[in-house]
Amino acid sequence: MQEGRYSEYRFERKFVSSQLDEHGFEHIIRHHPAFFSEIYWERQVNNIYFDTPALRYFYDNVVGKSERRKVRIRWYGKAEGIIEQPVLEFKIKSGTLGRKASFDLAPIDLDGELGFGFFQDLFKKSGLPEGILEELKGLNPSLLNNYGRRYYRSVDHKFRFTVDYDLKYFDFSSNMFSLGLGKRDLQNTILELKYNQEYDDHAMDITQHLPIRLNKSSKYVNGIEIIRNNLAV
């Protein structure tokens, strides 16, 4: 039975723009006085989100509850075929601070049969703790999304930017799920500033050089609203 990995609490500040694409944000970041440079490699991020049948996690985020969470499977690269290294993540928010609990999962064949019980079987054979398995019993897959992401870090290593673009959403709750039936958001690009809580007093030094204001944004909430536009919110 695996113990999981738990990150420290940190701030994640989001800036959403319909005027700037990833190249526009790159220009701003590279000319920032904190001397950001690109780290890692540009890659596609994929998530399968889970929620209760009544979409409790979705509505908790819509109304802005202080204590809220998202549950997802995340992997990088292609969104079809066999996923070799998927990770189960619990994204836990307490006010404006957030942390993640992560657990490795067994490989997933997205081209195979993903019927009722598939994910519960996956969780069981992945050696998850009993408490995590118990929480997952009441959750169903609700949304798949993917997007391109670029990564940047300040020269003092205290602040990170990510730029998310070409966002696509797929209704994973449907029996007719298909990667050919998704909806794309080509209008918005998301810049996210991430830093540990001990650096919060210096965050204004970073944000004052950005041409857009802080936004409240959740890709999970936006995706559910896009693919299920009959929801009452």
CATH number at residue 54: 2.40.320.10
User: What's the rounded mean pLDDT across residues 219-229?
Assistant: 90
Q: Among 94, 98, 91, which residue's Cα sits nearest to residue 65?
A: 94
Q: Among 155, 209, 231, 147, which residue's Cα sits nearest to residue 183?
A: 147
| Residue 140 is assigned to a structural domain of this protein | yes
Domain that holds residue 156: 5-227
For the entire predicted model, the pTM comes to 0.93
| Residue 26 is assigned to a structural domain of this protein | yes
In percent, the amount of the chain with pLDDT more than 70 equals: 95
Per-residue pLDDT at 216 exceeds 90: no
- Average pLDDT across the chain, whole number: 92
| Residue 95 is assigned to a structural domain of this protein | yes
| Residue 232 is assigned to a structural domain of this protein | no
Predicted local confidence at residue 84, as pLDDT: 94
| Residue 127 is assigned to a structural domain of this protein | yes
| Residue 233 is assigned to a structural domain of this protein | no
Helices 219-227, 56-63: inter-axial angle, 10-degree rounding: 110
Instruction: Report how many domains make up the chain.
Output: 1
The tens digit of pLDDT for each residue in 20-65 reads 999 999 999 999 999 999 998 899 999 999 999 999 999 999 998 9
What is the token pair recorded at 173?
């709750």
| Residue 208 is assigned to a structural domain of this protein | yes
Q: Among 36, 31, 71, 32, which residue's Cα sits nearest to residue 51?
A: 71
